[in-house]
Amino acid sequence: MTIAVAYKWAADPQEAQVGEDGTVDWSRAKPGVAEYDAVAVEAARLLAEPAAEECVAVSVGPAATGSSLARKGIMSRGADRGLAVADDAVRSWPTTQQAEALAALVGRSGADVVITGDTSVDENARMMSGLVAGFLGWPCLQMVSRITRTDDGLELVQAVAGGTRTLHVTGPVVVAVTSDCVPTRVPGMKEILAAGRKPFDVVAVEDLTTTPVSLPVTGARRPDGPRRARRTLTGPDAVADLVAALHADQVL
């Protein structure tokens, strides 16, 4: 069994700036392995290591995805080798085209299990795992909180409405794990130094066949803020007036 883990070298949204017109400026946001993807990498590593199987990190992203910093960032977390599309042209690709490219990388990796994070830290669309599975023609199981190896496949614990359910899976599958599936590790200096010697191949965009999709952005605006009364109450009866105002607005 070869296990592929999809990850994204993404900017931290906490450092992004939102303009008055609603556009998001990512120029000052530092990139890194997304926190949800770090869980997926750890889950894939823990699944692969006991059976001495291969864990392959796959990604589709801008040119920075192929940088030395990005390579060490993902490989130091336990993947055995990496396979990525690293081209700034990807910035204009919609989610479906990125998923098609990811599926192609999975095919090249020879994997029969794909593990992804719950969502991406920047887009937060929760679509990638299902789309990749669709392009591969594999089943997809999301909200998986535990993965255990069995004699002939995998046992998955999946969160569903009202509780959990346990499934026995044989054959190829795409699994999206929850953020609490496994605790993540912080790579040490030994792992970071070893990461630089692990194989990491960058696949040219021209070497993949994807379906171009036009998705023009026609506008952007900031979300509406909460309505505020902006009233100031003063005087000896200010507390009583405040309570009365809150009752009138049905806050209390």
The per-residue pLDDT for 17 is 77
Q: Which token pair is 147?
A: 């993965």
DSSP the chain: -EEEEE--EEE-GGG-EE-TTS-EE-TTPPEEE-HHHHHHHHHHHHHHGGGT-EEEEEEEE-GGGGSHHHHHHHHTTT-SEEEEEE-GGGGG--HHHHHHHHHHHHHHHT-SEEEE-SS-TTT--S-HHHHHHHHHT--EEEEEEEEEE-SSSEEEEEEETTEEEEEEE-S-EEEEEPTTSS------HHHHHHHTTS-EEEPPGGGS-------------PPPPPP-------STTHHHHHHHHHHHTT--
The per-residue pLDDT for 249 is 82
The per-residue pLDDT for 214 is 81
The per-residue pLDDT for 130 is 95
Q: Which token pair is 3?
A: 């296990």
The per-residue pLDDT for 218 is 83
Return d(Cα 65, Cα 73) in angstroms, integer: 10
The per-residue pLDDT for 24 is 76
Q: What is the mean pLDDT of each run of 10 residues along the chain (252 residues)?
A: 91 76 76 89 93 93 94 94 95 92 96 92 83 96 94 93 93 95 91 93 93 82 72 87 86 78
CB-based contact 229:238 (threshold 8 Å): no
CB-based contact 33:62 (threshold 8 Å): no
Residues in the chain, overall count? 252
CB-based contact 164:157 (threshold 8 Å): yes
Return d(Cα 108, Cα 103) in angstroms, integer: 9
